[in-house]
Amino acid sequence: MTVEEEIELQTVPPLCRLPQASRERLLASAIQHRVAAGTVLFEQGELPTFQIVVLAGSVQLFGRSTQGREVLVEVARAPDLIIPAAVVTGAPYLMQARVPEPSRLLLIPAALFRDTLLQDPLLAHEVIDALARQFRRMVRQVKNLKLRSSVQRVGCYLLTLSKRQGTPGQAVLPYEKNLIASELGITRESFSRALANLEQAGIRVNGQTIMIVDATRLATACQPDSLIDDIEGAVAV
């Protein structure tokens, strides 16, 4: 790791809020890793060997049944910790982690992370905060799946995505439609039907780009809720 990279990492949550001694201890054994799109970081059922921190890019978390059916459960983005619950407890991962785009990750040895966690209350606080945010994110997801129709889910997804991307007039789908459908708990066909239905509510579909011609009509059709969609923060939970 270069001096420039070490200086940059000093500012990355959760490291930036730790005492210097703890931060230097973790960074001394950490590995900064650049990964290509399509890289599998770990499989469900594997034991954690590192606490992974997303520095840039994103990581998709998939669940898979014994019959091989796969669903996208969550997408982690910088500066998320990847499944700290498994790292802290030493339990097997419940999901597979896959990188959908070129990304940069920080890998901290799991044993060192757990040991430092026991010694440093500030790191413990950071992990509790990460777990709390991930729990709230999961509750939002459950409410989205159980309280809304497929059309409402897709419409609210587009509004949130547009907000996150900073482009009020459009939303560019970040990955394949079948994966987005999986994340929303619907089939690829249902996702396409929902997009077609939402054309009456002010959208136009052009491949991966969804033009939001009338955001007010779209919001009226899908009824966004800040306690589910987090329209304001887009990535906060």
Average pLDDT (172-182) is: 94
Interval 23-42: pLDDT, tens: 999 999 999 999 999 999 99
Residue type for position 220: T
Give 117's pLDDT tier (boundaries 50, 70, 90). Answer: very high
Q: What is the mean pLDDT of residues 2-25?
A: 81
Closest by alpha carbon to 31, among 2, 60, 7, 56?
2
> Residues 79-114: pLDDT tens digits?
999 999 999 999 999 999 999 999 999 999 999 999
In a domain, 233, yes or no: no
- Structural domain harbouring 166: 149-222
Asked whether residue 100 falls in the same domain as residue 190, the answer is no
**pLDDT of 172 over the 70 cut:** yes
Asked if residue 57 and residue 23 are part of one domain, the reply reads yes
Do 90 and 165 reside in the same domain of the chain?
no
62/119 same-domain check: yes
- Kindly state whether residues 12 and 84 are assigned to the same domain: yes
Question: Is the confidence at residue 179, as pLDDT, over 50?
Answer: yes
List of residues 6+ apart from 139 with CB closer than 8 A: none
Which of 92, 126, 144 is the C-terminal boundary of a domain?
A: 144
Pairwise CA distance, residues 1 & 104, whole Å: 13
Model pTM score: 0.88
Q: Are 236 and 163 in contact (CB under 8 A)?
A: no
> For residue range 38-62, what is the model confidence (pLDDT) as tens digits?
999 999 999 999 999 999 999 999 9
Q: Does residue 230 sit within a domain?
A: no
Burial class (CB in 10 A: 0-12, 13-18, 19+), 67: exposed
Amino acid 233: pLDDT: 42
At residue 132, does pLDDT exceed 70? Answer: yes
Give the span between the Cα atoms of 2 and 6, in whole angstroms. 6
> Does residue 196 register a pLDDT over 90?
yes
Residue 162 is predicted with a pLDDT of 95
Inter-residue contact 70 to 64 (CB < 8 Å): yes
pLDDT at 21: 92
For residues 77 and 54, the answer to whether their CB atoms sit within 8 Å is: yes
Domain count, the chain: 2
Per-residue 3-state assignment (H helix, E strand, C coil) for 156-181: HHHHHHHHHHCCCCEEECCCCHHHHH
What's the distance, Cα to Cα, between the start and end of the chain in Å? Answer: 32
Q: Does residue 72 sit in helix, strand or coil?
A: strand
Domain assignment present for 231: no
Per-residue pLDDT, averaged over 165-171, amounts to: 94
| C-alpha–C-alpha distance, residues 186 and 71, integer Å | 10
Q: Are residues 186 and 71 in the same domain?
A: no
Please check whether residues 17 and 122 belong to one and the same domain.
yes
Structure tokens that stand for 55 in this block? 């520095």
